[in-house]
Copies of this chain bind each other. A is one copy, B any other.
């Protein structure tokens, strides 16, 4: 099989860097160009020091981009849609990691969660990767909302997120002495990702998701704790069945719910570097509340890994190609 020529627009950011790492090790891919206006002409290892000895690529400027088969766009939110016409002229296929094309299938983009949109991905040329918090929440709740099992207006979701979610732009709030060890309620209400969640979980109904986000001491990772209220009296074994039915064949979803051991529920640190979404749940014995817990690596399943999974699907390559790193323990 001839290698697929790919270029990355915006390769000095965290998602772009992670994508570069994945593409360099993908057997069917050739990385043609990686852009960075700020670091143009410098080695890509300037911002991706982990890749030393694995590549001698240098960043180029966006204006130097040549035609390729697939363009991965990792620009800041708002920058991507402005250049969409330029990008379309460069490559027949575009996978965009910003928030610009996630809502309402804008410009024909398929929403990038493969577990929900695999068939559409097989046919499309444009995929818009989902927000990391949205990904964790949607994968956690999809089986319940799809099967109409929960109260549509009482769900409360609280995500705990790491510092890499904010990208590599430094500020007072990301300064280590301030950011270290903190538990920052940075978005108690009104998070942008909420619209994605509602779009994907509505199934034609009007729904409400009460969403909050808290930043904690962690670099990579999202843990979503989702409190839903069941419409009928389901037991845990019933819920097992539903999750198995909806997610049981997914290569990157693991149901994690152990009776013993110290990792009984999804744990983001075990997922660092992996494309897994681990999902667990516990039914409150005293009420109709079900707590669903999901964990991902925000730069992998929440960004670059998800994008590569979509890429594989779009090219009929085995979906797990280049994504088989199992994660580390201890870490």
The interface of chain A, by Cβ under 8 A from chain B, is: 14, 17-18, 21, 24-25, 46-54, 154, 156, 158, 160, 162-164, 168, 170-185, 188-190, 208, 210, 212, 214, 216-221, 223, 225, 227, 254, 256, 260-270, 272-274, 276, 278, 280-287, 289, 291, 293, 295, 324-331
Contact = CB atoms under 8 A, between A and B. Distances in A.
B183 A219 contact: no
B227 A190 contact: no
Contacts of A170: 170-172, 174-175
Contacts of A172: 168, 170, 262
Contacts of A325: 325
A183 B272 contact: no
By Cβ-Cβ distance, the 7 closest A-B pairs, closest first, are A177-B330, A170-B175, A176-B179, A189-B284, A188-B291, A50-B327, A188-B282
Contacts of A210: 227, 284, 287, 289
Contact of A218 (B53, B181, B289, B293): B181
Nearest to A187: B282
A24 B326 CA distance: 10
A202 to B, nearest CB: 15
B54 A326 contact: yes
Nearest to A21: B326
A214 B208 contact: no
A177 B221 CA distance: 12
B185 A50 contact: no
6 contacts: A14-B330, A17-B329, A172-B262, A174-B176, A176-B176, A217-B217
Contacts of A53: 254, 276
A268 B331 contact: no
A216 B282 contact: no
Nearest to A291: B188
A265 B213 CA distance: 13
A14 B329 CA distance: 8
A269 B181 contact: yes
Contact of A183 (B160, B180, B184, B264): B160
Given A189-B285, A225-B158, A254-B52, A269 B329 contact: no
